[in-house]
Structure 1
């Protein structure tokens, strides 16, 4: 699963960096943050703010947006370290695009926490989204891109989607965000459940001579035929590699 302690520590480092850039004093930062957030309509205790500064917690979704607006940094950078850092012009928090460069449809979009689930759960998600029990996972992440209320996150296993050359890559440990309600097309990164297994697989949806396939980015792995028994469980709308 995700190393939450490492994520908290990295978030704290970036928060301090953004505060330094904004000219916020080093001593008494918690008080300054509390005052600024309150002026933006976000009321957090100094104890909670202290935990962010000390690497013991990560700010919640509403607070993250307020911090980014105040410090003029992108939420993707502050929360996950994804460059670029600065928030400029049209790159406001609610106009982010998906990590694979495609816009996610606006219907039922939201920013918020999504569960980090297992690959077995991802396979079952194809048929039983509404039956998922939020208590089945104790790990949640704030999604840095628009995603439907049925969205979830997965931790990449193996190297079938690792690019040995230039281009986008998804190495082991990479976190991907999946939207089951997003429409998929040729060229999209998708999660699919293949016949005779309960687990899901992460591949690129490709088409050749009128037939569709699931293609790994790593050429050492075989291409998988899509049959009537293959279920496309969702589109990968964003990703990040934990530091």
Structure 2
């Protein structure tokens, strides 16, 4: 588990950094923030704002959006420390074409909140994709990359996807973002539900001699055969390691 106090302190540090970049005075920052948020239609008490500045709390969704708009920083950076820091002016909703030209469909993609779900829930997600807006999760995370409306996040458990050498690695505690509507190809990081279990697994999709397998990055773990009962639940499209 990521310590909440550590997350709050890291958010406070980034908030102060953004305020410094914007030339906001050091003394009386709480008053300045209160004034700016109010101008943007967000009402917060000075006590609540003081907690953000002192590392005792993290701003809620409405306040986070207003702060980013005012300070010209990306929400993914302010909330989670995911670079780059500055806004680029790109739209929050992207449309991508999927298909071979004869049967093309569009998938709406967005930079937005996705539910952080359990690995058991991820296995169930394979059966019937839940409605994104109605899904009731304890935690919602800002996705740093475009993702479909049915995307979700998972917290990596264990070290089967930890690289003991150079290269991309997904250690325990790493947050991964999964798009169940994204097309998967050999070499992609995927979430799959294997036979005789309700839980999902995180592996690399590989192919050899016409057969497909699920391969862990850590060579100490076995390769899993893909059978007719194996279900690919989605493609991992992004990740970050909480500070």
TM-score calculated relative to the size of structure 2: 0.82
Contact 2:114 / 2:140 at 8 angstroms: preserved in 1? yes
Following TM superposition, by how much is the alpha carbon of 1:66 offset from its aligned partner in structure 2, in angstroms? Answer: 4.1
For CA contacts below 8 A with separation 6 or more, give which structure has more relative contact order.
1
| Shift in alpha-carbon separation, 1:229–1:58, aligned structure 2, 3 A | same
SS in structure 2 of the partner of residue 31 of structure 1: helix
2:218 is the counterpart of 1:218: yes
CA RMSD of aligned residues (A): 2.8
SS in structure 2 of the partner of residue 12 of structure 1: helix
SS in structure 2 of the partner of residue 18 of structure 1: helix
Following TM superposition, by how much is the alpha carbon of 1:179 offset from its aligned partner in structure 2, in angstroms? Answer: 1.6
2:51 is the counterpart of 1:45: no
2:227 is the counterpart of 1:227: yes
- Alpha-carbon separation, structure 1, partners of 2:44 and 2:69: 19
Following TM superposition, by how much is the alpha carbon of 1:194 offset from its aligned partner in structure 2, in angstroms? Answer: 0.6
- Alpha-carbon separation, structure 2, partners of 1:215 and 1:180: 19
| Shift in alpha-carbon separation, 1:60–1:109, aligned structure 2, 3 A | farther
- Alpha-carbon separation, structure 2, partners of 1:104 and 1:173: 33
Following TM superposition, by how much is the alpha carbon of 1:96 offset from its aligned partner in structure 2, in angstroms? Answer: 10
Deviations 1:61-120 (Å, cap 9, x if unpaired)?
A: 454344334334333322212234344xxx3464699xxxxx898723233332221111
Counterpart of 1:68?
A: 68
Deviations 1:21-47 (Å, cap 9, x if unpaired)?
A: 2221112212222333444x3423234
- Alpha-carbon separation, structure 2, partners of 1:92 and 1:202: 33
Following TM superposition, by how much is the alpha carbon of 1:182 offset from its aligned partner in structure 2, in angstroms? Answer: 1.9
| Shift in alpha-carbon separation, 1:69–1:186, aligned structure 2, 3 A | farther
Counterpart of 1:23?
A: 23
2:185 is the counterpart of 1:189: no
Stretches of structure 2 that go unaligned for 5 or more consecutive residues are: 99-105
2:124 is the counterpart of 1:124: yes
Contact 1:152 / 1:177 at 8 angstroms: preserved in 2? yes
Counterpart of 2:101?
A: none
Counterpart of 1:209?
A: 209
2:168 is the counterpart of 1:174: no
Stretches of structure 1 that go unaligned for 5 or more consecutive residues are: 98-102
Following TM superposition, by how much is the alpha carbon of 1:172 offset from its aligned partner in structure 2, in angstroms? Answer: 0.5
- Alpha-carbon separation, structure 2, partners of 1:146 and 1:58: 24
Counterpart of 1:36?
A: 36
Structure ranking higher in strand proportion: 2
Following TM superposition, by how much is the alpha carbon of 1:134 offset from its aligned partner in structure 2, in angstroms? Answer: 3.8
Please identify the structure whose Cα radius of gyration is greater. 2
SS in structure 1 of the partner of residue 154 of structure 2: strand
Deviations 1:152-174 (Å, cap 9, x if unpaired)?
A: 21110111111112221110011
SS in structure 2 of the partner of residue 108 of structure 1: strand
| Shift in alpha-carbon separation, 1:155–1:129, aligned structure 2, 3 A | same
SS in structure 1 of the partner of residue 35 of structure 2: helix
Counterpart of 2:108?
A: 108
